[in-house]
């Protein structure tokens, strides 16, 4: 009989196992359907793994239980996380402003320090868990073999980037043990946005450093500054993904300010090259395709009068993109929804099924880009491991 079976060797499962080891526990196993640990962790931060955020604000997460979320993150903080990685696991970290990365700027370093700290015999790979049943005072976890355990930890992730192993099967495992009203329906978060504006197709592949804001049903909901990438379906880039979190049912519009404070440059190009077409006059500052779209939107062929130039500038400051939806879960960085945090106690143990613990993205918690989602995986898994080790040691 194992003290614990951890289902999932992703960010949360690995951290949970490492924490158990640091508390002197060895009688546990980690099962994963993949042939190696941390497959999603490997692709985080463009392969560099932004592992946390020095300015983390717990108010920026979405969840059904903000108080419990704040308590979990306050009990294993960003500083505790960096300390654990540096002092216990031996990972050197480096900061880029408030974003924290492994010093090597490689996610493989994060996976390696976790993997190497956990005894090899605790891992069982290529082992997809299909069912869990409760028998008297323990659980039986079934994959190709059966594993009896006093405690089980569901660290199966959400349902985004399915090819990394998080295929949503964790929700089914939980649903077999918890009441149906314990779940918030899942949807993609931190995801690219689609547009129905056909005139924007020609911008596909263009990148702009600009400010963007999201207006939902007439109200501004969020704004971001950064790189905006136009694609064949709509818009992408970190700032777009951040806005995707605030989309509402109804009319959603992204308003782009392409020029910020640089409108004088536009005005002087138009004045200096007035003999040229507007597209050619602005060739050194704006892609011709964008100039053409903006001219078409304001209904002018060549900018001549002050009024026309003002309208053109206004359109560059307030360029609307109608949002028709988002890409699917498979392209989303995180899954919104999952098991309700409010169905778990302060140590993330099911309030109804004792011995059943949950951590990481499978819980209804999602944060913005910038290390928030990994911090949730680290904090929630440590809280679970600490509670289990208190009950055993």
Ligand X SMILES: Cc1cc2nc3c(=O)[nH]c(=O)nc-3n(C[C@H](O)[C@H](O)[C@H](O)COP(=O)(O)OP(=O)(O)OC[C@H]3O[C@@H](n4cnc5c(N)ncnc54)[C@H](O)[C@@H]3O)c2cc1C
Q: Are 72 and 342 in contact (CB under 8 A)?
A: no
Taking the complex as a whole, the smallest distance from the CB of residue 279 to ligand X amounts, in Å, to 37
Taking the complex as a whole, the smallest distance from the CB of residue 343 to ligand X amounts, in Å, to 17
Residue 217 Rama label (left phi>0; alpha psi -120 to 50; beta): left
Binders of ligand X in range 324-353 (CB under 6 A): 333-334
CA 229 from chain centre, in angstroms, equals 18
Taking the complex as a whole, the smallest distance from the CB of residue 353 to ligand X amounts, in Å, to 17
Choice between 34 and 195, CB closer to ligand X: 34
Taking the complex as a whole, the smallest distance from the CB of residue 22 to ligand X amounts, in Å, to 18
Question: How far are the Cα atoms of 57, 306, 334, 370, 383 from residue 54, in angstroms, in the given order?
Answer: 9, 48, 20, 10, 20
Encoded one letter per residue, x for contact with ligand X by CB under 6 A and - for no contact, window 153-172 reads --xxx--xx--xxx--xx--
Question: How far are the Cα atoms of 24, 85, 97 from residue 103, in angstroms, in the given order?
Answer: 28, 11, 14
Question: How far are the Cα atoms of 61, 80, 132, 198 from residue 353, in angstroms, in the given order?
Answer: 26, 29, 12, 52
Q: How far apart are CA 284 and CA 266, in angstroms?
A: 10
Cross-strand bridge partners of residue 53: 99
Task: Answer yes or no whether residue 361 interacts with ligand X by CB under 6 A.
Answer: yes
Taking the complex as a whole, the smallest distance from the CB of residue 146 to ligand X amounts, in Å, to 14
Question: How far are the Cα atoms of 91, 275, 370, 371 from residue 110, in angstroms, in the given order?
Answer: 7, 58, 16, 13
Task: Answer yes or no whether residue 139 interacts with ligand X by CB under 6 A.
Answer: no
Binders of ligand X in range 55-94 (CB under 6 A): none
Taking the complex as a whole, the smallest distance from the CB of residue 160 to ligand X amounts, in Å, to 6
Binders of ligand X in range 362-381 (CB under 6 A): 362, 371-374, 377
Choice between 49 and 256, CB closer to ligand X: 49
Q: Which residue is nearest to ligand X (CB)?
A: 10
The two counts, helices (H) then strands (E), for the chain are 12, 20
Task: Answer yes or no whether residue 102 interacts with ligand X by CB under 6 A.
Answer: no
Coil, helix or strand at residue 150:
strand
Choice between 303 and 388, CB closer to ligand X: 388
Choice between 37 and 234, CB closer to ligand X: 37
Choice between 153 and 210, CB closer to ligand X: 153
- Residues that bind ligand X in the complex, under the rule CB under 6 A: 7-13, 31-34, 39-41, 43-45, 49-50, 128-129, 155-157, 160-161, 164-166, 169-170, 333-334, 360-362, 371-374, 377
């Amino acid at each position: 009989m194992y003290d614990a079976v951890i289902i999932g060797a992703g960010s949360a499962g690995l951290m949970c196992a490492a924490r158990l080891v640091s508390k002197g526990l060895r009688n546990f196993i980690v099962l994963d359907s993949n042939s190696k640990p941390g497959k999603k962790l490997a692709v985080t931060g463009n392969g560099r793994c932004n592992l946390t955020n020095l300015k983390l604000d717990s108010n920026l997460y979405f969840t059904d239980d903000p108080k419990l979320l704040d308590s979990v993150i306050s009990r294993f903080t960003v500083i505790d996380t960096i300390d654990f990685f540096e002092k216990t696991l031996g990972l050197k970290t480096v900061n880029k402003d408030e974003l924290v990365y492994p010093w090597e700027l490689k996610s493989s370093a994060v996976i390696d320090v976790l993997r190497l700290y956990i005894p090899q015999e605790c891992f069982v790979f290529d082992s997809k868990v299909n069912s869990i049943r409760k028998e008297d005072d323990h659980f039986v976890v079934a994959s190709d073999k059966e594993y009896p355990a006093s405690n089980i930890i569901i660290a199966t992730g959400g349902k985004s980037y399915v090819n990394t192993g998080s295929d949503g099967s964790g929700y089914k495992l939980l649903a077999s043990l918890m009441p149906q009203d314990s779940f918030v329906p899942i949807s993609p978060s931190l995801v690219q946005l689609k547009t129905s504006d056909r005139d924007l197709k020609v911008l596909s592949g263009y990148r702009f450093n600009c400010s963007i804001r999201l207006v939902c049903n007439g109200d501004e909901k969020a704004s971001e500054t950064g790189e905006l990438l136009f694609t064949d379906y709509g818009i992408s880039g970190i700032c777009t993904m951040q806005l995707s979190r605030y989309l509402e049912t109804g009319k959603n519009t992204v308003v782009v300010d392409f020029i910020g404070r640089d409108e004088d440059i536009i005005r002087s190009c138009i004045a200096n090259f007035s003999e040229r077409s507007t597209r050619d006059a602005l060739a050194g500052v704006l892609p011709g395709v964008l100039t053409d779209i903006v001219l078409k939107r304001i209904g002018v062929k060549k900018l001549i009068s002050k009024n026309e130039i003002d309208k053109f500038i206004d359109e560059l400051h307030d360029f609307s993109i109608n949002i028709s939806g988002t890409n699917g879960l498979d392209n989303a960085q995180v899954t919104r929804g999952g098991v309700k945090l409010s169905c778990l106690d302060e140590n993330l143990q099911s309030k109804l099924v004792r011995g059943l613990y949950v951590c990481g993205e499978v819980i209804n918690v999602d944060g913005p880009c910038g290390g928030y989602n990994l911090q949730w995986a680290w904090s929630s898994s440590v809280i679970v491991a600490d509670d289990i080790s208190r009950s055993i040691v």
